[in-house]
Copies of this chain bind each other. A is one copy, B any other.
Amino acid sequence: LRNRLRTAREVTLADVAEYAGVSASTASRALNGRGELSPETRAAVLHAADVLHFEPSHLARSLRMRTTSTIGFVVPDVSSPFYASALKGAQRVLEQAGYRVLLMDSGQGADGEVAALRTLLAHRVDGLLVATIGMERERFDALVTRRGTPCVFFDSGVDGAGAGTVLLDNTVGIELLVEHLVAHGHRRIGLLTGSLRETSGLERLRTFHAAMRRHGLETPAVYVAGDRWTQENGHDATRRILAAGEPPTALISSSVELALGALQACRELGVRIPDALALATFDDAYFAALLDPPLTAVAYDPFDVGEQAASLLIDAIGDGGSEPRRVTIPVALVTRRSCGCAP
């Protein structure tokens, strides 16, 4: 026995059974609390497992049970605070329900996203949580719907696909921003946009135009710029917008990364915020109040996004083919100095 332990070989259920003097099936039943067992037998098995430091192979179990208790999580960029927080929120709920998380970073590319999905599917994950960078319905169906693996989208979805979608309240968020800046007296307002292939990017852009129209305000094409969710893009887009013949007096940013880029650009150009340019952004980062100037922002709970998506997914795994569900995460405006509000 001692030699058994020392060898590199893993301890298996068979070892436990042998040590306890029972069959493998009995050992299995004892360890999983299934079926009727005599108390002594159960105790003997538990003891054997303990002595041998038995750790059941999740692999073998999954193969046999045809379920892995593993959820695939796909985001464009794990190092972004938003996705990291959503991940944490989802993980909390998922672990509670006995699931593990297999994480994949799509690297903000369509190929990366497909590859990530493929890997996860090969792993036979029980469900998928994905913030897509923008995939066509057909491709998604061919890849995952056909397999029957439940998928919940968050932050960015594929129209009509999936068992559910969790989105921020982009409409209300942008409207709050526009209204607030208009209330400050601004009429020339610009917009920094992220990727328009993603739901959040597109919804924010559309709502912006709608809100401006509703206020009877014009938006020259040059007042809208940006195509990626990066600080660099925010910087470049801001410079482009400010280079307009008659630049806007206020700027709305679709994300905090873009806003940081705007801050940087304004600093370089000597444009003072909020006097020369008012700034307000989507995403209330934890450091927003400590920036120079403190940033007016649309706040929400990023953990909540992950939690809700995870709950939806667990439901979908449970009840199979009920209606696709849609959850909207509420947002609220937090005013600070960057929009012109008093400190």
Contact = CB atoms under 8 A, between A and B. Distances in A.
A291 B267 CA distance: 12
Contact of A60 (B63, B102, B104): B63
Contacts of A118: 55
Interface stretch (A17-25, A31-39, A81-89, A206-214): A81-89
Number of copies: 2
Given A84-B78, A103-B101, A260-B286, A122 B56 contact: yes
A79 B88 contact: yes
A10 B119 CA distance: 15
Interface in A245-290: 260, 263-264, 267, 285-287, 289-290
A110 interface: no
Contact of A290 (B80, B145, B260): B260
A287 B81 CA distance: 12
A229 to B, nearest CB: 13
Interface string A84-101: 110110010000000011
A184 interface: no
A292 interface: yes
Contact of A148 (B6, B91, B102, B146): B6
